[in-house]
Structure 1
C-alpha cells in the first residue's frame, strides 16, 4: 500500500511537469517521458511490477494493454540513451507480466488464476519482502543477487504458508521472470526454493480461480479439524477407560 501511494504521488508530480517537456523529434528518448509511461502503470521498481499481479485481472490487463501500446508507440519515435536503460528494463518487466497474466491461453495464466484470490489476500504481507530502494541498481553482484534471492524466498514462504506450495511456486515463477527481465546481471541459486515446514496443505486450497477460499475460512477449517481430532482422541480414551 505504501509503495502504491508513492507511485501515485510521483505520477501527480509527473503530470504537473509533463507540459514542460521538449519533443524528441526522432532523437534520444526523453527520460521524463519514459518515467511518465511507467508512472501511468504505477511502476517504479521491479517489485511494483509483480505487485500488480494481485489486482483484478481483467481491468489490469486492459490497463497494461493500453499503456504498453502507448509506450511502444513512443519508443518508435526515439532511441533510449544508456542512462535510460533502467526505465527501459522496467518496461521489459511490464511486458513479461502482461505476457504471463493477460494471455489467457497460456499455461501459466491457467495455473496462476487458480490461486489469484488467495495470493491477493497477502498483498500487504508481501510488501515486507521488497528489497531496499534501488537494489536492482546495486553494482556489486553478490549484494544484488543476495537481495534478489531474499525477495524470492520471502514470497515463496509467505505464499506457501497460506496458499500452499503450488501457489508459492506460481507466484515465485512470476517474480523471477519479471526480475530476470529487468536485471542485466544473472544470479545463480535463485531457483533453489526454501523448505517450508508449515506450508498450507493442498487439500485446504480451493482451486477455482476467482473464488478462492479466504484465509479466514481456511483457518476455520483447520480449527474444526483440530477439534475433531481432539474429540476423537478423548472419546477413544474414554471408551478404553470404561
Structure 2
C-alpha cells in the first residue's frame, strides 16, 4: 500500500513540473521517459526551447518563430510538410470511372460482357493512368467509394487484361475463352445487380447478404446459358473484384446454388451442339459418300 501512495506522489510531482501546454501530453511523456523529472530530460529546464523533445505531430520551433501559444518550444507539423498525405478531390476519379460506367461494384464485372475485351482493356488502362496522374500528390481516404471502385477496376486490369497471376491464370483463360457466351449474358448480369448504393450501407451484415445474393445470381444465370464451369469462374472473379470495390469485407459463401437445367459443357465449347452447321456438313458428306459407293458397285 505505501508503494502505491509513493508512486502517486511521484506522478503528481511530475505533473507539477510540466507546463500547462505540455501537461496534456503526459501519457506520451510517461510512456517514453518514465517517471524521471521533465527538467532532467531536457538539460535542466526550458532555457533552450529549440532543444525540447516534442510529442507526436509537433516539431521544435525555429528561432524565427515566436512563442504564440500551444506547446512551449514546439509547433504543429503542417500538412505541407507531409507529402502524399493531402486528401484528393475525388471528382477527377469519378469523371474517369464514368467513362466506363463504373458506378457500382457490379459494373466492374459487367465489363466482361463488353463486345471487345481488347478495346475495353485499352480504355481501362487509359482511365487508370489518368486517375494515377490526378493522385500524384495526394491520396483518397480509405473509405472513399470512388477509391474502392478504382481498386476493383485495377484488379480487373490485372486479372483479365494482363492475364492474372499464377493462381488465377486458369480462371482468366476460361473467362476469355467463354467471352462469346458472356456477351450474351449481359442482360442477365444487369438484372442481377442490387439496388443503387447498396454497398454504401453501414450495416455490414446486410451489405454482405446482398453481395452474396448478387454472386449467386451471376452463377445461376451463367450456368443456364454457359455451363457450370463458366459459372464458377464468373462467380469467383465477381467475388474478388467486387470485394475490392467495397468498404466492407464480405466472405463469399462456399455453398453454390443448385441449378437443375445447366447448359451441358459440350454446348459451350464449340463442339457438338455448339456447332450445328459443322455436324450437318459431315452428315451430308457421309450421305454423298454412301451414294457414290452405291453408284460404283451398281455399275
Q: Distance in 1 between matches of 2:162 and 2:195?
A: 31
Asked if residue 49 in structure 1 is aligned to residue 108 in structure 2, the reply is: yes
2:201 is matched with: 138
2: CA distance, partners of 1:184 / 1:81 = 11
Q: Highest relative contact order (Cα 8 Å, sep 6+), 1 or 2?
A: 1
Q: Gapped runs of 5+ residues in structure 2?
A: 1-82, 278-299
CA RMSD of aligned residues (A): 2.6
Kindly indicate whether the alpha-carbon contact (under 8 Å) linking 1:101 and 1:108 is maintained by their aligned counterparts in 2.
no
Partner of 1:176: 239
Q: Which has the larger radius of gyration?
A: 2
**Structure 2 residue aligned with 1:75, among 135, 140, 149?**
135
Q: 1:202 maps to which residue? A: 265
Match of 2:145 among 74, 78, 86: 86
Task: Count residues in correspondence.
Answer: 190
**1:182 and 1:133 mapped to 2: Cα distance?**
15
Distance of 2:195 and 2:98 partners within structure 1: 19
CA distance in 2, matches of 1:180, 1:64: 19
SS at match of 1:89: helix
How far apart in 2 are the matches of 1:101 and 1:36?
23
Q: Note the 1:150-169 alignment, pairs <5 A.
A: 150-169=213-232
Match of 2:125 in 1: 65
Q: What's the CA shift for 1:184?
A: 3.0
In the alignment, which residue of structure 2 is the partner of 1:38?
Answer: 97
Give the 3-state SS of the residue equivalent to 2:239 in structure 1: helix
Question: In the TM superposition, what are the counterparts of 1:80-119 in structure 2 within 5 Å?
Answer: 80-81=140-141, 85-104=144-163, 106-119=169-182
Q: Which structure features the higher share of helix residues?
A: 1
TM-score under structure 1 normalisation?
0.71
Q: Which moved more, 1:72-81 or 1:110-119?
A: 72-81
2: CA distance between counterparts of 1:219 and 1:193? 30
Q: Aligned to 1:133, what secondary structure does the other structure show?
A: coil
Q: Which runs of 5+ in 1 are unaligned?
A: 1-24, 222-242
Distance 2:153 2:198 in 1: 18
Map Cα deviations across residues 77-114 of structure 1 (whole Å, 9 max, x no partner). Answer: 222246x6111000000001111111137333212112
Rounded to whole Å, the distance in 2 between the matches of 1:188 and 1:42 is: 26
**Gap change, CA 1:81 and 1:187, over 3 Å in 2:** closer
Shift of 1:179: 1.2
Distance 1:170 1:32, change over 3 A: same
C-alpha contact (below 8 Å) 1:148/1:190 kept by paired residues: no
